[in-house]
Amino acid sequence: MKMNGAGVWLRGISGAVMAFLYLPILVLTVFSFNDSRLSAVWQGFSWHWYGVLWHDAALLAAAANSLLVGVLSTSLVVLLGLPAAMGLERLRGKGVRVVETIFLLPLILPEVMMGVALLLFFVMVRWPLSLATVVIGHAAFNLPVVVVLVRARLQKLDPRLEEAARDLGASAWETFYRITWPLIRPAVLGAALLAFTISLDDFIVTFFVAGPGSTTLPLRVYSMIKSGLSPEINALSSLLVLLSMGLVGLSLVLQRR
Amino acid sequence: MNDLSIDIRALVKRHGETVAVDHVSLQIRRGEFFSLLGPSGAGKTSLLRMLAGFETPDAGEIHIDGRSMADVPPNRRPVNLVFQSYALFPHMTVAGNVAFGLEMQRVPRGEIAGRVEATLELVRLSDKRDRMPGQLSGGEQQRVALARALVNRPAVVLLDEPLAALDQQLRQQMQSELKSIQVQVGITFVCVTHHQEEALALSDRLAVMRQGRVMQVGRPEDLYERPENLFVARFVGASNEIEGVLASVEAGTGDLLPQGLAPMRGIRVSVPAGLQSGAPVVMTVRPERIRVTPGQGAEAGGNCLHGVVETMRYIGSEWQGVVRIGESVRWTIHAPNAGSGNRPVAVGAPVLLHWSPDDGVVIPLI
């Protein structure tokens, strides 16, 4: 294909941006296979650091915490977000925009603010910081994510389908169970996967609301870096990148259906 | 047993400022194919949605099979709606769609299978039973939507512009199919349409609606032959009109003295009861009732007006033209195709328009 000058430039700039975004991750991944104590010099291929990961008890505990928080906060957020999205979709009148904005505010609110606010809240109600407060914190910033994604699907749903079900004798619950739910299920699962991924990766809010014994994976990585860069972190980060990409990819596939 | 299927009494529905349905009263008989005909915004869809239970009337009552429908939710009404967009459940097979209503009514499994099969056979879709709706053509989707309603054996099937989404050829075919299915099952059909030809062809009776009000109710031939007002005359078929004043009314006939025209002799019309000499009226004649002859000399008998041909177009089965009468009156005429593609009359030529006094319908001007 023959390209004009603008085309060449566009390709060049796109390539540079992609490199800027992904080169560090690529380097990190490559060096996770480095057979050396020091991160900077390539000494040959090895699975060694992945083995070290597997025997790091503190790290495994943090991973278990992260998974637990992810599963619980995602469940909570779907249980709250699905009815919220359906409610917003049915709402008519002047107040709708206001309610909608309030729901979506956490998406644009600086995360530090959310972290501080949640911490102050838990202190105020005298709720000791624990895994439970982390779960609630994650649910707080993931709720708008689920609401937005589920609503996007609901808006594409023909309202006549629910009317048709009612017309054919279905109760409100039967209409949801037989018609609405099967049609929005992929979008809800996709939203849940995305929320799970965000929960798994979150550092800032978790940093504020985690108590002793509720260290999650990102918090553990942070404390490991403080005691010096080890290729073990490279290995761990590579695994997290792989997991996140996989989950987000799956989420996108589900939402496109 | 009472043969009234639907009894609508002084129904009112407002949408904000506008009155969508304005004191409509209609009686629809059991087993009747009844159409609501009107332009968009006439309130026919609102009326249909109130029958289905999706909208609540602001005043008035609906009785179906003698039972008041006030406070009866859509899922408890003995009616099923065929949506304009069909609204087939995209995640269920054809058979699954058709079975849905029976499952909701807790009909035993064995009976469901049999009834679904019989209904699919009725709409000639037995071989498509395991397809998904997305794999069907428009006409097939339409038949699934119909089957999904019929299988429940409702007291009334409601149809919202059932053929609007189909192309012209399929439309004609589905028209006769719809009618023959309705006759076979003997269920009351109430059909909303803005397509007057369709309404005439399908209906046993129809109501013409305008701005929320019923303008006239009757059999297709009543509406076409004896329109009670100008709106019906113009909306159902084409209408050729002359304004004037009645004179020498006697025993159901009289003369029309047209305004601003000098007919070669008095126009004889049949006069509906209640109209006296001196009443201002409009006379309307259907295009196909007018006979066009070239020349200027009047024939004996019947009504006759002079005119000049303005346009003439050939549509195969006949010629359609416009003839100017006097200064500003224009009439549409249909002349049969007499063969060999010859124009019955030339453009610009003086012609005579003849019609029988029985074909001129007199409508009082209020």
- Asked if B80's CB is within 8 angstroms of A178's CB, the reply is no
Mutate to test the interface with A, among B104, B158, B159 (most CBs of A within 10 A): B104
What letter would DSSP give residue B228? S
Q: Residue A39 has what pLDDT?
A: 59
CA quadruple A23, A28, A34, A38: dihedral sign: positive
Please check whether residue B52 touches A, CB under 8 A: yes
- Interface A-B: count of C-beta contacts within 8 A: 58
Tens digit of each residue's pLDDT (9 = 90 or more) over A206-239: 999 998 888 998 998 888 888 777 778 888 888 8
Q: What residues in B contact A179, CB-CB < 8 Å? A: 89
- Asked if B91's CB is within 8 angstroms of A174's CB, the reply is no
Q: Residue B235 has what pLDDT?
A: 92
Contacts of B284 (CB under 8 A, 6+ apart): B227, B230, B233, B239, B240, B241, B360, B361, B363
Cα–Cα distances in angstroms (integers) from residue B14 to residues A160, A219, B18, B114, in the given order: 21, 60, 6, 43
C-alpha count within 13 angstroms, C-beta hemisphere, residue B341: 0
> Given pLDDT bands bounded at 50, 70 and 90, which one contains residue A159?
very high
Q: Residue B1 has what pLDDT?
A: 47
Which residue among A158, A160, A166 places its CB closest to the CB of B75? A166
Instruction: Tell me what the pLDDT averaged over chain B comes to.
Output: 90
- Asked if B83's CB is within 8 angstroms of A168's CB, the reply is no
Q: What residues in A contact B154, CB-CB < 8 Å? A: none
In the predicted structure, residue B59 carries a pLDDT above the cut 90: yes
Q: What residues in B contact A167, CB-CB < 8 Å? A: 52-54, 74-75, 77, 79-81
What's the CATH code, domain B4-234?
Answer: 3.40.50.300
Separation CA B182–CA B202 (nearest Å)? 10
A179: nearest CA in chain B?
A: B89
Separation CA B68–CA B60 (nearest Å)? 11
Q: What residues in B contact A166, CB-CB < 8 Å? A: 54, 73-75
Separation CA B314–CA A25 (nearest Å)? 75
Structure-block tokens of residue B103 = 């499952």
In the predicted structure, residue B2 carries a pLDDT above the cut 80: no
Nearest alpha carbon to residue B184 among B122, B103, B257: B122
> Given pLDDT bands bounded at 50, 70 and 90, which one contains residue A105?
confident
Distance from CA of A180 to the nearest CA of B (A): 10
B52: nearest CA in chain A?
A: A167
Which residue among B79, B85, B91 places its CB closest to the CB of A160? B85
In the predicted structure, residue A1 carries a pLDDT above the cut 60: no
Q: Residue A257 has what pLDDT?
A: 64
- Asked if A166's CB is within 8 angstroms of B83's CB, the reply is no
Nearest 10 degrees: Cα torsion B143, B89, B96, A254: 140
Q: Residue B166 has what pLDDT?
A: 83
Average pLDDT of the segment spanning B278-283: 90
B171 touches B178 (CB < 8 A): no
How much of chain B, in percent, has pLDDT values that exceed 70? 97
Q: What residues in A contact B89, CB-CB < 8 Å? A: 161, 164-165, 179
Mutate to test the interface with B, among A153, A167, A179, A257 (most CBs of B within 10 A): A167
Assign a CATH topology to domain B239-364. Answer: OB fold (Dihydrolipoamide Acetyltransferase, E2P) (2.40.50)
Please check whether residue B90 touches A, CB under 8 A: yes
A221 burial level (CB within 10 Å; 0-12, 13-18, 19+):
middle
> Given pLDDT bands bounded at 50, 70 and 90, which one contains residue A196?
very high
Residue-wise over A36-62: b if at least 16 C-beta within 10 A, else e? eeebeeeeeeeebbbeebeeeeebeeb
What domains sit in chain A, N to C, each tagged with a CATH number? 49-256 (1.10.3720.10)
Q: Where are the domains of chain B?
A: 4-234, 239-364
Separation CA B365–CA B281 (nearest Å)? 5
Nearest alpha carbon to residue A248 among A102, A145, A122: A145
Structure-block tokens of residue A161 = 């389908």
Residue-wise over B325-349: b if at least 16 C-beta within 10 A, else e? bbeebebbbbbeeeeeeeebbeeee
In the predicted structure, residue B298 carries a pLDDT above the cut 70: no
A171: nearest CA in chain B?
A: B75
Average pLDDT of the segment spanning B226-237: 92
Q: Which residue is it, tokens 């996007």? A: A152
A201 touches A248 (CB < 8 A): no
Separation CA A110–CA A173 (nearest Å)? 39
Tens digit of each residue's pLDDT (9 = 90 or more) over B138-172: 889 999 999 999 999 999 999 999 888 888 888 88
Q: What residues in B contact A173, CB-CB < 8 Å? A: none
Please check whether residue A38 touches B, CB under 8 A: no
A172: nearest CA in chain B?
A: B75
Average pLDDT of the segment spanning B70-81: 94
- Identify the weakest region by mean pLDDT among A40-44, A46-50, A83-87, A197-201: A40-44
Task: Identify the residue with better confidence: B236 or B299.
Answer: B236
Mutate to test the interface with A, among B89, B132, B148 (most CBs of A within 10 A): B89
Please check whether residue A254 touches B, CB under 8 A: no
A161: nearest CA in chain B?
A: B87
- Asked if B101's CB is within 8 angstroms of A169's CB, the reply is yes
Tens digit of each residue's pLDDT (9 = 90 or more) over A113-130: 999 999 999 999 999 999
Sheet containing B329-336: order of strands: B291-294, B350-355, B303-314, B318-325, B329-336
Kind of pairing, strands B350-355 and B303-314?
Answer: antiparallel
Mutate to test the interface with A, among B51, B72, B75, B144 (most CBs of A within 10 A): B75
Alpha helices by DSSP H, chain B: 44-52, 94-104, 109-122, 138-150, 168-185, 196-202, 220-225, 230-235
B98: nearest CA in chain A?
A: A168
Distance from CA of A251 to the nearest CA of B (A): 20
